[in-house]
Amino acid sequence: MYPNLLFRRCVAAALFCIAGAAGAAYPDKPIRIIVPYPPGGSVEIVSRVISDRLAQALGQPVVVESKGGAAGNIGAYYVATQPADGYTLVMGTQSTHGTNNLLFKETRHDPVKDFEPITMVAAAPLLLVVNPKVPATDGPSLLKYIADQKDGVSFGSASTGGGGHLAGERFKKLTGLNLVHIPYKGSGPLRTDLIAGHVPMSFDNMASALPAVQAGQLRALAVTTATRSSVAPEIPTMAEAGFPPLVLDTWYALFAPAGTPRPIVDRLNKEVVKILHEPAVTERLRGLGMDVVTTTPEGLRTRVVEDTARYKRIIDDAKIEAQ
């Protein structure tokens, strides 16, 4: 942890103890959930799905506020520097709390030391999709198609270092095939080129790719989770489809600044987990291509540590250099 963050944590803890002694109850003012990405994306949508219900449960407004920039680093660092009093939270992802520290030299927050995990919120598989003109309907046929192309096959991803890029690099490592990465600036441009056939295949996020699959514009071969997704249970896992058992998903999780008192963390965990298992909330997230996934604070911390180590192996194998 950076020295100034440690100082802030100590000051915040001291102030919280003083407030507690005076009989203050948490929460007694509005809470903010910081979205470390531009407005309108999936992270903001997930945050708003739970914010209104959390406000009702806690008896205080819960405001969703976007602080985008630097692939999520600006918003994540902002929350890391806020008082550890439970009034500023961040909706983190596998990027802000996993790959960013490995891909960006100027990342100023530590995803483990600078945050108190609250709970996982949702997860979604990546979809291995191909343009319908690609003569492949399962693992063996796609592997044969790639092997038959003397110059290899390109795969697109929504960003360098993102989940789709890492999944593609892991796929390349597991199969030993000649695959060339084509990075795009977002899922929208990637999907456009996939449908047009300018790039033959991709590991794309479920929310972006599934509508195109359902419209017959793309063909889904597999999901990158260990089990089938409840959102599209007809699509097999990588192993079921005859591919090497690649497992890599995207996730959303709630964090507070490091040093946030355990009673506050436990209260937030209890309320958010209860909200996420409400049928209406579960169905809303499923409609976005996500499955509800909840954890204890300790379970989320373990997930961050283990995923970061896994991402590092993939990045090192692919020789992706930090920018």
Structural domain total, the chain: 2
Sign of CA dihedral 70, 119, 30, 262: negative
Looking at the predicted structure, is the pLDDT value of residue 287 above 90? no
- For residue 157, give its domain range: 125-223
In which residue are the tokens 């630097």 written? 70
CATH number of the domain at 271, please.
3.40.190.150
Same domain, 93 and 150: no
Q: Does residue 172 sit in the same domain as residue 115?
A: no
**120 and 171 together in one domain:** no
The residue out of 207, 223, 239 marking a domain boundary is 223
In a domain, 256, yes or no: yes
Q: 63-95 pLDDT, tens per residue?
A: 999 998 888 999 999 999 999 999 999 999 999
**What does the pLDDT look like over 173-184, one tens digit per residue?**
999 999 999 998
pLDDT bin (cut points 50, 70, 90) of residue 212 is: very high
233 inside domain = no
Same domain, 16 and 111: yes
The answer to whether residue 11 sits within a structural domain is yes
Q: Which amino acid is at 155?
A: F
Query: CATH number for the domain including 162?
Result: 3.40.190.10
Q: What is the pLDDT of residues 119-164, one digit of tens each?
A: 999 999 999 999 999 999 999 999 999 999 999 999 999 888 889 9
Confidence of residue 19 (pLDDT cuts 50, 70, 90): very low
Beta bridge partners of 65: 34
The answer to whether residue 241 is domain-embedded is no
Same domain, 22 and 90: yes
User: Same domain, yes or no, for 129 and 117?
Assistant: no
* Residues 132 and 204 occupy one common structural domain: yes
Residues 6+ apart with CB under 8 A from 136: 130, 142, 144, 145, 219, 221
Question: What is the average pLDDT score of the chain?
Answer: 91
Q: Are residue 56 and residue 138 in the same domain, yes or no? A: no
Lowest-confidence region among 160-164, 197-201, 229-233, 301-305: 160-164
Tell how many helices (H) and how many strands (E) occur in the chain: 11, 10
Mean pLDDT of 226-243: 94
Nearest Cα residue to 220 out of 123, 130, 125? 130
Residues 72 and 174 both lie in one domain: no
Both 85 and 141 in a single domain?
A: no
Q: What is the pLDDT of residues 263-278, one digit of tens each?
A: 999 999 999 999 999 9
Inter-CA distances, 311 with 14, 43, 201, 304, 316, Å: 36, 20, 22, 10, 8
Phi/psi of residue 202, nearest 5 degrees: -165, 155
pLDDT band at 10 (very low <50, low <70, confident <90, very high): low
Domain co-membership, 107 together with 203:
no
Q: What are 185's two structure tokens?
A: 């600036």
Question: Has residue 36 been placed in a domain?
Answer: yes
Q: Does 134 fall in a domain? A: yes
Phi and psi at 201, nearest 5°, equal: -150, 165
Q: Is residue 238 part of a domain?
A: no
Q: How confident is the model at residue 22 (pLDDT cuts 50, 70, 90)?
A: very low
201: left (phi over 0), alpha (psi -120 to 50) or beta: beta
Looking at the structure, do residues 162 and 201 belong to the same domain, yes or no?
yes
As a whole number of angstroms, the longest Cα–Cα distance in the chain is: 73
In a domain, 235, yes or no: no
Q: Is the pLDDT confidence value at 12 over 60?
A: no
Percent of residues, the chain, with pLDDT higher than 90:
77
Final residue in a domain of this structure, among 223, 239, 271: 223
- The residue behind tokens 């997230």 is 285
Report the pLDDT value the prediction gives residue 38, as an integer from 0 to 100: 85
* CB-side neighbour CA atoms (13 Å) of 202: 35
